[in-house]
Structure 1
């Protein structure tokens, strides 16, 4: 009897010409990316590189910031790349400490990370760098460092100021990875 009632109810409901409306799925804002064009870093730093003309360089004012720490800010993308510089002065123990710190800072994202990939980037200028890609709802999806192993160590981390929904921000991260790669390609030690 129960099944007969459900069958009749189903047949009656199919016969109506009433339209059913569904709510639109949530959309994401369209992001306009500036052209990739670069300019030389100005200032008295122990390093030099080319960075995006759509970005601005400001000193890093976070607590504990050291000399030569900078932010390359992208106002239109609400993002920035934080650069932390450490002099080595020929001390290999310091180099090991800074490399370990780079991995330790990346591992702080493990709580929300879905995956982490580390790889060596072979640069056109003959140098290498280490890059770390982090997937998931994390504030920094891409981190990297480069060193000459005796005098200089430079670490970069791409940060987004927006909610970290991976799917919606992936194009921003990919755009910033291109700029980070260009920075590494043009990096020179002074």
Structure 2
């Protein structure tokens, strides 16, 4: 009996020892929360620079002129830029529209989807299209506006990072709203 008790005790000790050593693994600290990026509420001011149009722009941006009424609207903290290009209409509205649409649909290879949202402001004679590009495309938003007879503007946003929509989504949403504000506030002179 003594021998049986000793074997049972030995087995029990080995079992307990096995339980304590078998469950050990690398201890990995768990993050307390996900990264949350918050940006301040946008404040807009009218931008005018001797061109045939004006628009409202976020006060957090830096604007550089790139010639011929083209502008880079830079978001330094978000590492993104809205590129604005102006072209006069000289009986070539069909070509300008085709080029703007072609620019958007060149991203179809990487895009999950492209949503078109028409824009019409009859009072100020501003007509156009806003494109939302989903997925890991180089740009996630573009637009064009025109009065159909004299002026044509195209805008697109690009980030200084490898396109990974999950990573840039907060900044992309913020800038996309600013692009809509630019588009809606354009006035011809």
TM bracket, shorter-chain basis: 0.7 to 0.9
Contact residue 143 and residue 183 of structure 2 kept, 8 A: no
Measured in 2, the distance between the counterparts of 1:148 and 1:124 equals 9
Aligned to 2:75: 74
Do the aligned partners of residues 72 and 124 (structure 1) sit closer, same or farther apart at CA in structure 2, a change above 3 Å counting?
Answer: farther
**1:115 counterpart (113, 116, 124):** 113
Is the 1:87–1:152 Cα contact (8 Å) retained in structure 2? Answer: yes
TM-score, normalised by the number of residues in structure 2: 0.78
Structure 1's 123 and 88: CA in aligned 2 closer, same or farther, altered over 3 A?
Answer: closer
Paired position in structure 2 for 1:153: 152
How far off its partner does 1:23 sit?
Answer: 7.3
Q: Indicate the residue corresponding to 1:137 in structure 2.
A: 136
Alignment match of 1:35 (pick from 41, 45, 52):
41
* Pairing of 1:1-190 with structure 2 (within 5 A): 15-16=19-20, 17-22=23-28, 30-60=36-66, 67-89=68-90, 91=91, 94-122=92-120, 127-190=126-189
Higher Rg of the two aligned structures: 2
Contact 1:139/1:164 (<8 A) preserved:
yes
Structure 1 residues 169 and 12 mapped into 2: Cα distance closer, same or farther (>3 Å)? farther
* CA positional deviation for 1:42: 3.2
Partner SS, residue 166 of structure 2: helix
Structure 2 contact 127–147 (Cα < 8 Å) conserved: no
Q: Distance in 1 between matches of 2:111 and 2:50?
A: 37
Residue 18 of structure 1 deviates from its aligned partner by 2.5
Task: Mark the CA change 1:113 to 1:28 in structure 2 (over 3 Å): closer, same or farther.
Answer: farther
Structure 1 98/12 Cα, relative in aligned 2: closer, same or farther at 3 Å? farther
Partner secondary structure for residue 121 of structure 1: strand
Q: Which runs of 5+ in 2 are unaligned?
A: 1-14
Equivalent pairs, count: 171
| Distance in 1 between residues matched to 2:164 and 2:60, nearest whole Å | 24
Structure 1 runs (4+) deviating above 6 angstroms are 11-14
Unaligned runs of 5+ in 1: 1-10, 61-65
Following superposition, the deviation at residue 148 of structure 1 comes to 0.5
Say whether the 8 Å CA contact 1:70–1:84 is kept in structure 2.
yes
